Amino acid sequence: MNEQEYINYSRIAEAIEYIQQNFTEQPTLEEIAEKVHLSPFHFQRLFTDWAGVSPKKFLQYISVQHAKQILNNSESLFDTAYQTGLSGTGRLHDLFVKIEGMTPGEYKNKGENLSIKYSFSESLFGRILVASTHKGICYMGFSDDKRIVFSELEKRFPKASFIQQTDDIQQNAL
């Protein structure tokens, strides 16, 4: 790694750590870029090149992971939104639909009254199970054993109904 690559690596590592430690404050692109001494435009490009996703998308992933942990502890949607640093339940709802393919209530209720379609396919990383609701992708799992990966899906959403059927949402994920 040359000197500039090392500097860029260090900046992105610092930015990732900053986002992970401060996600409940939902820092802006400008705030994160300032932390690593870059312009927002340059930081956005550099972060995306190194991390594979935009800083905003990374912040969303970190936020939804935290929200899922809170919901698993039976907290209310309002408390979950507050503890995740979101402005309200509407933002929590939008985040879940965008990232998890279901509402936070559907996630909290373990898929109750939810129909999940799933299919198996081959990928560069081996066999993949892709599952979706009518809102989007809700699960992706890799395993050469279909039973194992489907069992993981069932454990995640034990109250859902499952239909082995490929849909357009799944096809776009591959």
Would you state the pLDDT for residue 1?
A: 81
For 142-151, b/e burial (b = at least 16 CB within 10 A) is ebeeeeebbe
Q: Which token pair is 40? A: 């927002």
Which residues does the chain have with pLDDT short of 50? none
Would you state the pLDDT for residue 122?
A: 87
Would you state the pLDDT for residue 75?
A: 85
In one-letter notation, the amino acid at residue 140 is: M
Q: Strand pairing partners for 139?
A: 131
For 45-57, b/e burial (b = at least 16 CB within 10 A) is ebbbeebeeebbe
Sequence spans of domains, the chain: 3-101, 115-173
Would you state the pLDDT for residue 34?
A: 97
Would you state the pLDDT for residue 174?
A: 61
Pick one of 3.40.30.10, 3.30.1600.10, 3.90.660.10, 3.30.160.70 as the CATH number of 115-173.
Answer: 3.30.160.70
The CATH number of the structural domain formed by 3-101 is 1.10.10.60
